[in-house]
Structure 1
Amino acid sequence: MLFIIDDILEEMAIEGKRYFSPHYIISIAKQSGQILTLKETTNHLLSLVGSNKKLQVFYEVECPNGDNDFPISSPLELSNEERTCHLCHVEYIPSPDRVWVYFDFTPAYKNYLKKKSLVPEQPQILALV
């Protein structure tokens, strides 16, 4: 079932899509009749993160009003210190439950797809008898 995610990712990369969430992948899969859960989709996307893999992962902390306040490297680095949202100016304590995760393609994966699309199909050789 997770192969559908890989197919969607390849199409998106070829189309030049960038910065997408697991919810976006789920909505595309749903359009083709495939049902994916948020957990399985997110876990599969995270398994594709790395320098020599397909994806990069990004995290942003959301304030109580729903604004993306600031980026972080990992949800584990959140502090319990109160802060003020730079957009709506509400004071809050960041929570790991309010962290947005989104992805982009690695340069290595984009290069792989470029090379893959440039490789001509092997011509069929007919034997003359």
Structure 2
Amino acid sequence: MKELLNEIYRYLIPALCIVIAAYCVKHLLSSRAPKVTPAYFYDEQNGREYTITSWETSIGRSGACDIVLNYASVSRFHAVISKHKKGWVITDTHSSSGTFIKGKRIDEPTVVNDGDIVSFGGIALQFRIK
């Protein structure tokens, strides 16, 4: 009886492993990240657009940021904008010069609406949703 079970398990366990691996690969290849609502910051001074390309986008002077604002008044890692159920939310990441929405300094994650003027270290950009 023990030998029969060994023979069954010898083929059953590898077969189950193959089925599980195939299931995992199928789902890895078929699942795609949800699309981000197209949004961007518009610089009225020079007509430049800074596109928000993911659910969470970093903003700052550092080249490691998703949106690079190369101004001395902007901190290296100044702020983050992220998509939530309630809309787009900006969080100041303890920048030295602050982040402002419609002229009001934000100290906690704050919803930003289409057309709002957002200031990063004195650099004013208009938030727009396409």
TM-score (norm 2): 0.20
- RCO higher in structure (CA 8 A, sep ≥6): 1
Q: Whose radius of gyration is greater, 1 or 2? A: 2
Please state which structure has a larger fraction of its residues in strand.
2
Please state which structure has a larger fraction of its residues in helix.
1
TM-score (norm 1): 0.20
